[in-house]
Amino acid sequence: MSRPMVLTAALVGAETTREQTPYLPITAEEIAEDAAKCREAGAAMVHIHVRTAEGKPSQDAELFRAAIRAIRKRTDVLVQVSTGGAVGMDVNERCGGLTLTGADKPDMATLTTGTVNFGEEVFWNPRPLVRDIAKRIKSIGLKPELECFDVGMIDEARYLAKEGLVDLPAHFDFVLGVPGTLQARPEVLDFMIASLPEGSSWTVAGVGRQQLPFVEEAAKRGGNARVGLEDNIYLSKGVLAKGNYELVAEAAKRARAAGRELATPEQARQLLRLG
Ligand code: KMH
Ligand code: ZN
């Protein structure tokens, strides 16, 4: 039996707008409703950002708390909080989700290990800032998902491990296809997999129209995949996904067609070594 595939749904993001798609969840209830449908469709984890009532990107702890409570009321899907936030946010703002404790504590948090162009802007992650976020994640007993927009960010994770800020093997997410960064091509994925520290696990998040094809690329290679409105709003050319759950359902279909079963949240916990 092949290893079950972990599907993550990136529900909200910081860049997608209601003008682009009316199906973007914004409130805690909308996020939770979509999260529960994503779980039913085959997702084991959701990656969340939060928004103000006006839809502005935020990393406010209370907004995260409300979203996490609403999700956990409805479903057992794992919850990963973003520490990337939106470009231009300072480190304390970005780490709002890491201040939650007890029943509101997330299951995982992202950690981007380097600076990268991000469309017309810059997603700023110099070493001191990355160290700061890595320490915060470690100090609350969470495991990071190492978000790599470029292959050098995998090497940077090795460097952080030498400093004792990240434990190896770890779980990596290759984000491929953001304008201005490394694009989603099969040979890029192969190189990234070959560059991983021994024993590490990986997910690939193809951005834009490469999202669903890269579920297949991941499935073939024994890895995991991320889909969702953070990275892509279309189910097919010109057809908006009517919620994250439609993208998860399509990803699940493609994963199964490639011979992969889907991981439950409990299996994902083991596979990603979340403890
Ligand atoms: N919104 C991007 C600038 C993360 O969630 O950790 C960063 C991002 C990464 O989305
Ligand atoms: Zn994100």
Instruction: Identify the CATH number of the domain in which residue 172 sits.
Output: 3.20.20.70
Residue holding tokens 């092949």?
A: 2
With a 6 A CB cut-off, is 201 part of the ligand 1 pocket? Answer: no
Query: Within a domain: residue 252?
Result: yes
Total tally of structural domains belonging to the chain? 1
pLDDT at 112: 99
Would you say residue 96 lies in a domain? yes
* Residue entry with tokens 């193809």: 206
The answer, yes or no, to whether residue 1 has pLDDT greater than 70, is no
pLDDT tens for residues 109-127? 999 999 999 999 999 999 9
d(CA 16, CA 106): 23
The residues near 245 (Cβ < 8 Å, ≥ 6 apart) are 9, 34, 37, 38, 40, 41
Please report which confidence band the pLDDT of residue 275 belongs to, taking 50, 70 and 90 as the band edges: confident
Mean pLDDT of 36-54: 98
For residue 2, tell me if it sits in a domain. Answer: no
- Say if 268 falls within a structural domain: yes
- Joined together, the tokens standing for residue 73 give 């009321």
Contact (Cβ atoms closer than 8 angstroms) between residue 63 and residue 74: no
Residue with CA at minimum distance from ligand 1 atom 1: 86
Q: Please tell me the residue having the least CA distance from ligand 1 atom 6.
A: 84
SS (H, E, C) 204-220: EEECHHHHHHHHHHHHH
- Decide if 175 contacts 147 (C-beta within 8 A): yes
Digit-coded pLDDT (tens) for 130-166: 999 999 999 999 999 999 999 999 999 999 999 999 9
- Report which bound ligand comes closest to the CA of 89: 1
1 assigned to some structural domain: no
- Enumerate residues with CB within 5 Å of ligand 2 (an ion): 82
Which domain does 42 fall in, by range?
7-272
- Ligand number, closest to the Cα atom of 94: 1
**Neighbour-count burial of 164, counting CB atoms closer than 10 A to its CB (0-12 exposed, 13-18 middle, 19+ buried):** exposed
Q: What is the DSSP letter of 258?
A: T
Average pLDDT over residues 238-259: 98
Q: How far is the CA of 271 from the centre of ligand 1 (A)?
A: 23
pLDDT tens figures, 58-78:
999 999 999 999 999 999 999
d(Cα 93, Cα 160) in Å, to the nearest integer? 22
Q: Out of 16, 82, 149, give the residue to mutate to test ligand 1, the one with the largest number of ligand atoms within 8 Å of its CB.
A: 82
- Residue 87 near residue 123 (C-beta atoms within 8 A): yes
Please indicate, yes or no, if residue 33 is contained in any of the structural domains. Answer: yes
pLDDT bracket for residue 19 (50, 70, 90): very high
